[in-house]
Chain A
Amino acid sequence: MDTYILSIESSCDETSMAIVKNGCIDIATVVLSQMNTHANYGGVVPEIASRMHVESITIVLEELLTKAGMTIDKIDAIAVTYGPGLIGSLLIGLTAAKTLAYIYKKPLVPVHHIAGHIYANNLNKKMEFPLIALVVSGGHTELVYMKEHYSFKKIGGTLDDAVGEAYDKVARVLDLSYPGGPVIDNLASTGTDQYDLPIPLNDHSFNFSFSGLKSAVINLKHNEEQRGNMVNKNNLATSFQNRVIEILSKKTMNALKEYQVNNLIIAGGVSANKGLRNKMDKLCEENNINLSYPDFKYCTDNATMIGAAGYYAYKLGRRADLNLKAEATCNLE
């Protein structure tokens, strides 16, 4: 029998709802992005994000139901991102999910945001196990080992800035637009690796650190300007991106080796980065690794991925009651 999950995601600056069938088929998805608003401020302003979520919540729901041609009584469960994320933003999606679960007497399934990003990969083709997942976005940089469905072991993560956050900050220093990822990625495709930047946290752990690299970019630009030189933005973007990709790919390949895994998935907003994709494609081909990315539309935050993860959580009997808490930070388990 088919299982339909209505899912809600509001952990940052996207108000999104989806209906997903059997954890893999996108019946309908609505994503209302606030990116253009936050671009005026050079980054997501939490209070503005919360305000916009409450304004769009029923609009997104109506559009979803119209698109899907379904009514909520046909849904098996409501899945919702409870964390991690911006607390004020999470609370809107969470309150909406609880209210729907309550009035339609449906089970409420809590989903961790990172689990969602990983399960975005179940929407194209079925995930194969065991696998290593590299989750890279504006809020997250994590390496996760999965032995089977819905079993998560975090083996490493960032000690400071998330990789996407480092892109945004470097973009700001170089007077580039927000979000920084796509802009730097484009510049990097035309520049040469001219600048001497460090490879951050180049050790044998599976952890990452990007604040030092970011500071190195800031200092380098500052020093050049003191000497009366202009930095070449294309080349600096290239040097920065090369270091980022080098360390991400190195630690990911190390993780695959150590855990003796040959399935890799890359998820999160930064998985749309062309430089990262080219490098990982090449390395995975050389090492016979089965590599998967989400479709571009499932790379950034969306509820479809929460519905995909929510299906497996639902099948495992994971349930929350009406007292489910929003968590700004929480572990993936």
Chain B
Amino acid sequence: MISLFLDTSSVTYTIALIKNDNIIYEKNGESYNRLSDIILSEIDSALKNANLSIQDIDRLYVVNGPGSFTGIRIGLTFAKIVAYALKKELVLLSKLEMLATIENSQEIIVPLIDARRGYVYGAIYDKNGNNLLKDQYIYLDELYDLCKKYDDVVYVSEENIEKLSTIRPKFDIIRLIKRHNEVVSNVHTCKPNYLKKTEAEEKNDKRN
């Protein structure tokens, strides 16, 4: 089986091709705010590099959030169109779980994405990928308090998080995708997992 892995949820994107549990191509690149301009060409060069065409792909693994709203929409739009038009399998993945899937880790891993104004997208995973606190938009101090009951905690983030010492992730894509076999049954209803309402919706909620 050949799979295409795609993460466009942050300023660095990851494209990987996996053949029978082996990575045959992987690129981590910087998009410099031009993700939409480059991503199709980057996917094309990945496939060409591996002597494959998009038709050869059996399954798409796509990170659908949380992270950059625009970024995840671009990745998911690509994936939905391919999955629908070419009838390919689609598996959605969490960026936080991806951040938490690192080699030689401590017992407890807390992946973090800065969500500004003191908030983060965060979760708690153990080193086997079990989710102890589900992915959420949470006040950093509150998440920190929730982690106090664990002894051996490591915070992982792609960016600097204020007041907290974090390590940079080193993704273990194979370990991550091996845990996930949930092929989406209806491509049409796949959505990004923003974990946060829009400001307009929040204001409306407050008013009502």
Which A residues are closer than 8 A to B by beta carbons? 40-41, 45, 47-48, 50-51, 53-55, 57-59, 61-62, 72, 88, 91-92, 94-96, 98-100, 102-104, 321-326
Residues of A within 8 A of B40 (CB): 95, 98-99, 102, 322-323
CB distance from B175 to the nearest CB of A (A): 28
A61-B84, A94-B36, A99-B82 given as contacts; is B76 within 8 A of A54 (CB)?
yes
Q: Does B191 contact A (CB under 8 A)?
A: yes
Contact with A along B52-78 (1 / 0, CB 8 A): 001100000000000001100110111
Whether A72 pairs with B73 at a CB distance below 8 angstroms is no
Whether A45 pairs with B54 at a CB distance below 8 angstroms is no
Contact with A along B184-200 (1 / 0, CB 8 A): 00011101101000111
Whether A48 pairs with B198 at a CB distance below 8 angstroms is yes
Chain A-chain B contacts (Cβ-Cβ < 8 Å), number = 99
Whether A99 pairs with B37 at a CB distance below 8 angstroms is no
Whether A96 pairs with B200 at a CB distance below 8 angstroms is no
Whether B200 pairs with A58 at a CB distance below 8 angstroms is no
Q: Can you name 16 A-B pairs with beta carbons within 8 Å?
A: A41-B204, A48-B198, A50-B73, A51-B69, A51-B194, A54-B80, A54-B192, A58-B188, A62-B84, A95-B39, A95-B74, A95-B77, A103-B82, A322-B41, A323-B38, A325-B37
Query: Which residues from 7 to 65 on chain B have a C-beta closer than 8 Å to any C-beta of chain A?
Result: 34, 36-41, 43-44, 54-55
* Cα(A57)–Cα(B199), bound, Å: 23
* Cα(A87)–Cα(B177), bound, Å: 32
* Cα(A323)–Cα(B78), bound, Å: 14
Query: Which residues from 155 to 176 on chain B have a C-beta closer than 8 Å to any C-beta of chain A?
Result: none
* Cα(A45)–Cα(B38), bound, Å: 27
Majority-rule SS of A interface residues: helix
* Cα(A53)–Cα(B70), bound, Å: 12
Whether B80 pairs with A58 at a CB distance below 8 angstroms is yes
Whether B69 pairs with A323 at a CB distance below 8 angstroms is no
CB distance from B116 to the nearest CB of A (A): 15
Q: Does B86 contact A (CB under 8 A)?
A: yes
CB distance from A195 to the nearest CB of B (A): 32
* Cα(A41)–Cα(B200), bound, Å: 8
* From A53, A94, A95, A102, contact of B54 by CB (8 A): A102
In the complex, residue of chain B having the shortest beta-carbon distance to the beta carbon of A42: B200
Q: Does B85 contact A (CB under 8 A)?
A: yes
CB distance from A91 to the nearest CB of B (A): 5
* Cα(A98)–Cα(B39), bound, Å: 10
* From A40, A57, A321, A323, contact of B77 by CB (8 A): A57
Whether A103 pairs with B70 at a CB distance below 8 angstroms is no
Given contacts A47-B198, A51-B69, 19 further A-B contacts (CB under 8 A): A47-B69, A51-B194, A51-B198, A54-B80, A54-B191, A54-B192, A55-B189, A57-B80, A91-B77, A92-B73, A92-B77, A95-B73, A98-B40, A100-B81, A100-B85, A104-B85, A322-B44, A323-B41, A325-B37
